[in-house]
């Protein structure tokens, strides 16, 4: 609980603001502001320079603003009217009682909410506690849960330095560095006890007691609680437990997962929150099931195996990767060092405890698997696409020896994206004109998206071109700055001003750079690639972004090869690499490219969501048939894609070298014979009508399916409260508010 006499950060900030601006503090401490451009404008307009300097952090901008500037805004009638409109919308949103979930699943209540555990949350670039797709998905999950009124809270870790920052040296090699987050200057509130002190929990980690404090940030109606060990009364080593996201060795990893899982449950207890369901978003949080069991044993006096069914009934699990290396496993020796006392509290023997995470029972050297623990201790499990569900059943069939593979209890709920977050303001305005002012709350309605056909081709094209120009301007700025920071020669720095052509076919590729994602597939036949990207009649250009894990030397080599390619004289103005990929860079990319390229090795892409974001902005996917694209890709009567392109079609072989050759040949052929010709097929006014037809198909077929409103509705009706509703998707859209 918090001390009611303590002054909340938003109130403190409010006291510094002129009377007409005081509600800016409430908005600044709730990430609801980040979902639409008119709300962002309120903070950006205070000082565009400070907005950039502080990484789009509204709290820091307001704290740094001069009183003179604030009083200028306070007497600006346009600004005050705009603020009043946004505040009225915010108050109505936060106080709404008649929500979708209150009608569909009223049994889910704020008295016993759903607790959503995840190692990372990608809410906004100003809260850098995420690395990539898992975190972005978790952030979008919270946002749509808020929009639909789902009683849900998030539980994660607050990292002092987050994920690493990326810069490339003159040889194109990735260098990693870190920047401290200053939590007191961020939209965060430290939870306090009744004495006005930091509310803490005590947690045993590595045979030492560690104090963990709890911070809260608001995501609309949803609270996100983040755990932090960086306290002066902790051992210096333990203070760094929450130092880096996915950093350190196996010992650091298991310690972080103890803090997230066991510490997360303890934190909720300290906050007085009693969840009805614990949702483990990936196996990192699986230790929470053990703490739930221990608390139930303490409450009832029953042994572990008697409370196991109760624990399972309160826990659900989502797995996010078919890559074996993506499933955390820990050696028995490491488990001994962290859990020797804990399994005694559970009244289990060492063998019984280790068996909870053992894929193969009876082997004393079998590692302890977090995914195995989650599958054993949760009543429901799901993959994140239809194909991923099938692959997961195959991966984990050994845990269910009495069932055929197709009866393994792992289903699927395909990922989506939060439409208001990822749709460009220009496109959102277009949808408001032609689909209705309520289009954001009807994102899963196919009938509404069918009205995209009403948008005049010229108008859609003009807006898309503006977004592409914005992407190119942003790319030039970032690359010019990077070249300057590297100390490159003047001519090379100024050449960035001529980088990319707003009229050229523009491809985007932004991923984590690992071998299976094949970031260099385009370069497999260097001469062929140069021919495509050096074509003067049908110019093609590409923008890359993404990081390689600090320990992934091969991923770093892929980036280095791309940087070398960027400097080839024949294509140096048509290839660009944006460093330090984050949410802001992602937004510019998915909103501005013509084509989104994705070419992982099948079936290692669990879902992917970047390509889904592109669809809301009229972009078109060119992807391997893996993850979500297996469900999104549609073929016409002529056998060709109507809403995008499939690389390699269904050709699949376990021979990776052969598969790379098949897929690269397919990609080159698509670019040469289908994509570029279609893009440059123009009428007398320069409008590519057949291309725009495919843009509209991309929007109409994908937007209603691959959004987080639909995804959250699936979680509610199939996982959180199964059987609570039999409403079909179209009618569901009619009641979402």
Q: Does residue 73 lie within any of the structural domains?
A: yes
pLDDT at 224: 98
| Nearest-angstrom CA–CA distance, 47 and 54 | 11
Q: Which residues of the chain carry a pLDDT beneath 70?
A: 1-5, 650-651, 724-737
**pTM for the whole thing?**
0.96
The CA dihedral of 132, 149, 200, 373, to the nearest 10 degrees, is -60
Helix, strand and coil in the chain, % to nearest 5: 50, 15, 35
- Picking from 381, 412, 443, the residue at the C-terminal end of a domain is 412
Count of structural domains within the chain: 3
Sign of CA dihedral 266, 271, 276, 278: negative
Instruction: Using only the alpha carbons of the chain, give its radius of gyration.
Output: 26
Q: Please tell me whether residues 37 and 130 are part of one structural domain.
A: no
Residue 292: count of CB within 10 angstroms of its CB: 22
Q: Please tell me whether residues 517 and 610 are part of one structural domain.
A: yes
Q: Please tell me whether residues 385 and 429 are part of one structural domain.
A: no
Q: Please tell me whether residues 401 and 456 are part of one structural domain.
A: no
Q: Please tell me whether residues 635 and 575 are part of one structural domain.
A: yes
368-382 burial string, b = 16+ CB within 10 Å, else e?
Answer: bbbbbbbbbbbbbbb
- Picking from 351, 378, 412, the residue at the C-terminal end of a domain is 412
pLDDT at 566: 87
Within 8 A by CB and 6+ apart from 658, the residues are none
Give 256-324 as a 3 state SS string.
Answer: HHHHHHHHHHHHHHHCCCCCCEEEEECHHHCCHHHHHHHHHHHHHCCCHHHHHHHHHHCEEEECCCCCH
Q: Please tell me whether residues 40 and 59 are part of one structural domain.
A: yes
Q: Please tell me whether residues 373 and 301 are part of one structural domain.
A: yes
| Nearest-angstrom CA–CA distance, 392 and 321 | 8
Q: Does residue 501 lie within any of the structural domains?
A: yes
CATH label of the domain that carries residue 345: 3.40.50.2000
| Nearest-angstrom CA–CA distance, 162 and 183 | 12
Within 8 A by CB and 6+ apart from 299, the residues are none
Q: Does residue 226 lie within any of the structural domains?
A: no
Q: Please tell me whether residues 357 and 493 are part of one structural domain.
A: no
**Domain hosting residue 26, numbered range:** 9-95
Q: Please tell me whether residues 403 and 437 are part of one structural domain.
A: no
Residue 4: count of CB within 10 angstroms of its CB: 9
| Nearest-angstrom CA–CA distance, 722 and 717 | 5
| 241-266 per-position pLDDT tens digit | 999 999 889 999 999 999 999 999 99
Q: Please tell me whether residues 400 and 469 are part of one structural domain.
A: no
| Nearest-angstrom CA–CA distance, 380 and 718 | 9
- Picking from 371, 388, 412, the residue at the C-terminal end of a domain is 412
Q: Please tell me whether residues 511 and 613 are part of one structural domain.
A: yes
C-alpha distances (whole Å) from 489 to each of 166, 398, 462, 494, 649 are 21, 59, 37, 9, 45
pLDDT at 650: 67
């Amino acid at each position: 609980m918090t001390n009611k006499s303590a002054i909340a950060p938003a109130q403190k900030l409010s006291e510094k603001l002129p009377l007409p601006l005081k509600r800016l503090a409430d908005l600044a401490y709730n990430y609801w502001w980040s979902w639409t451009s008119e709300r962002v404008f309120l903070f950006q307009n205070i000082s565009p320079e400070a907005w950039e300097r502080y990484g789009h952090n509204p709290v820091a901008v307001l704290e740094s603003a001069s009183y003179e500037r604030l009083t200028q805004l306070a007497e600006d009638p346009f600004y005050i009217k705009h603020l009043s409109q946004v505040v009225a919308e915010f108050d109505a949103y936060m106080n709404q009682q008649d929500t979708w979930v209150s009608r569909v699943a009223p049994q889910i209540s704020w008295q016993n909410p759903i607790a959503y555990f995840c190692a990372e949350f990608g809410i906004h670039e100003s809260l850098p506690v995420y690395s990539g797709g898992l975190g972005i998905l978790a952030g979008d999950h919270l946002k749509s849960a808020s929009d639909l009124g789902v009683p849900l809270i998030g539980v994660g870790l607050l990292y002092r330095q987050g994920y690493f920052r990326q810069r490339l040296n003159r040889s194109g090699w990735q260098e990693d560095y870190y920047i401290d987050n200053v939590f007191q200057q961020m939209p965060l509130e430290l939870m306090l006890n009744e004495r006005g002190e930091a509310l803490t929990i005590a947690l045993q980690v590595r045979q030492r007691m560690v104090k963990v404090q709890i911070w809260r940030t608001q995501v609309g109606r949803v609270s996100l609680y983040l755990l932090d060990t960086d306290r002066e009364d902790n051992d210096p080593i333990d203070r760094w437990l929450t130092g880096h996201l996915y950093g350190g060795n196996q010992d650091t990893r298991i310690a972080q997962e103890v803090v997230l899982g066991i510490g997360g449950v303890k934190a909720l207890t300290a906050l007085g929150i009693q969840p009805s369901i614990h949702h483990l978003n990936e196996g990192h949080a699986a230790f929470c099931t053990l703490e739930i069991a221990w608390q139930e044993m303490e409450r009832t006096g029953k042994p572990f195996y008697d409370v196991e069914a109760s624990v399972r009934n309160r826990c659900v699990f989502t797995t996010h990767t078919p890559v074996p290396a993506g499933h955390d496993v820990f050696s028995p020796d490491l488990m001994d060092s962290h859990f020797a006392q804990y399994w005694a509290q559970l009244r289990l023997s060492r063998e019984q405890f280790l068996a909870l995470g053992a894929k193969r029972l009876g082997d004393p050297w079998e590692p302890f698997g977090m995914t195995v623990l989650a599958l054993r201790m949760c009543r429901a499990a799901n993959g994140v696409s239809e194909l991923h569900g099938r692959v997961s059943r195959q991966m984990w069939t050994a845990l269910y020896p009495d069932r055929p593979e197709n009866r393994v209890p792992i289903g699927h709920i395909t990922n989506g994206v939060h439409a208001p977050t990822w749709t460009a303001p220009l496109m959102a305005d277009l949808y408001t004109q032609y689909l209705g002012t309520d289009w954001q709350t009807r994102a899963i309605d196919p009938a509404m998206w069918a009205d995209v056909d009403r948008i005049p081709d010229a108008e859609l094209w003009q807006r898309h071109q503006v977004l592409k120009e914005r992407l190119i301007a942003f790319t030039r700025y970032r690359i010019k700055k990077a070249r300057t920071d590297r100390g490159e020669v003047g001519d090379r720095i100024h050449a960035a001003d001529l980088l990319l052509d707003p009229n050229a076919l523009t491809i985007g590729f932004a991923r984590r750079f690992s071998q299976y994602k094949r970031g260099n597939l385009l370069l497999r036949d260097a001469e062929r690639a140069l021919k495509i990207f050096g074509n003067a009649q049908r110019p093609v250009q590409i923008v890359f972004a993404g990081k390689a894990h600090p320990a992934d030397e091969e991923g770093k080599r892929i980036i280095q090869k791309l940087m070398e390619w960027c400097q080839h004289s024949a294509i140096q103005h048509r290839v660009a690499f944006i460093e330090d990929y984050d949410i802001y860079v992602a937004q510019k990319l998915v909103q501005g490219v013509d084509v989104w390229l994705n070419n992982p090795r099948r079936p290692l892409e669990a879902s992917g969501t970047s390509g889904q974001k592109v669809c809301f902005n009229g972009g078109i996917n060119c992807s391997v048939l893996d993850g979500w694209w297996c469900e999104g890709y549609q073929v016409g009567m002529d056998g060709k894609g109507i809403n995008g392109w499939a690389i390699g079609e269904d050709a699949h072989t376990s021979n990776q070298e052969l598969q790379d050759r098949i897929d690269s040949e397919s990609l080159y052929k698509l670019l040469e014979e289908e994509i570029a010709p279609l893009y440059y097929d123009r009428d007398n006014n320069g409008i590519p009508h057949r291309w725009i037809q495919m843009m509209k198909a991309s929007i109409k077929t994908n937007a209603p399916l691959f959004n987080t409103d639909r995804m959250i509705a699936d979680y509610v009706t199939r996982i959180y409260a199964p059987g609570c509703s039999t409403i079909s998707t179209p009618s569901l859209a009619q009641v979402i508010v």
